[in-house]
Amino acid sequence: MIMEALAAAQGLFGIGQKIASGIQRRKAKKDFTNYEIPTSASLALDQANSLASQTEIPGADIYRSRAQSNAANTIEQAQRTAGSSSDVLGTLPGVQGNLDQFYQDIAAKGANYYQENQRVQRDALQTMAGYETERWRQNELMPYMQALQTSSMTGQAGNANIGSAVGAGMAIGTAKWQMEADKAEFEKWKAERGLGTPSNN
């Protein structure tokens, strides 16, 4: 009976270890400090996203308005000082040419500005992806791997204890069966020879 009780206790202990291994996996995250993405990286990405679709340099509308105002002032000055209407008309191609050149320049600057904003956005996204990967590694992967290792050791110990308990139980059962078989064989042997249980007389 003592051996059976010990085997049962060992089995229960092994089951407890198996349960503990599962609990250790679930509690793993609580043992780690969460990795946080730097605020500066998030702000940089927000700013990059807000500028990525802009195709004009800042203040482009103001520059255009000034250029148009300057062209109008030039024509007005020509009208006041020109000797004839043909003189005024002669100034128009130059004024229009300067204005067209300005429009081309500001459009080119806008295109360069757009390309640069796209590059900045790509860099910010790549930087954020690196931080996201690191956050996953520290907050998810590392706790899981540590818990898996710890729970695996506990689980293996539990399996060993359960296996030992089962083996011990089977050994005890086999021994009891063998004892009963030997006892029955001995009683049969005595009966065949007319031997009874010795009297106390």
Render pLDDT for 156-184 as a digit per residue (tens, 0 to 9).
555 565 556 555 556 566 666 667 776 77
Highest mean pLDDT among 8-17, 29-38, 126-135, 185-194: 126-135
Give domain status of residue 198, yes or no.
Answer: no
pTM for the model stands at 0.54
Enumerate residues 6+ apart whose C-beta is below 8 A from 37.
Answer: 128, 131, 132, 135
Give domain status of residue 72, yes or no.
Answer: yes
CA distance 127 to 121: 10
Question: Looking at the 3D structure of the chain, how many domains does it have?
Answer: 1
CA distance 129 to 125: 6
CA distance 92 to 97: 8
Residue 105: its pLDDT value, please? 96
By residue range, what is the domain housing residue 171? 2-192
Give domain status of residue 199, yes or no.
Answer: no
Mean of the pLDDT values across residues 62-79? Answer: 89
Q: Is the pLDDT of residue 33 over 80?
A: no
Give domain status of residue 197, yes or no.
Answer: no
Give domain status of residue 102, yes or no.
Answer: yes
**CA–CA distances in Å: residue 187 to residues 4, 40, 143:** 27, 91, 65
Q: Are 9 and 170 in contact (CB under 8 A)?
A: no
Give domain status of residue 128, yes or no.
Answer: yes
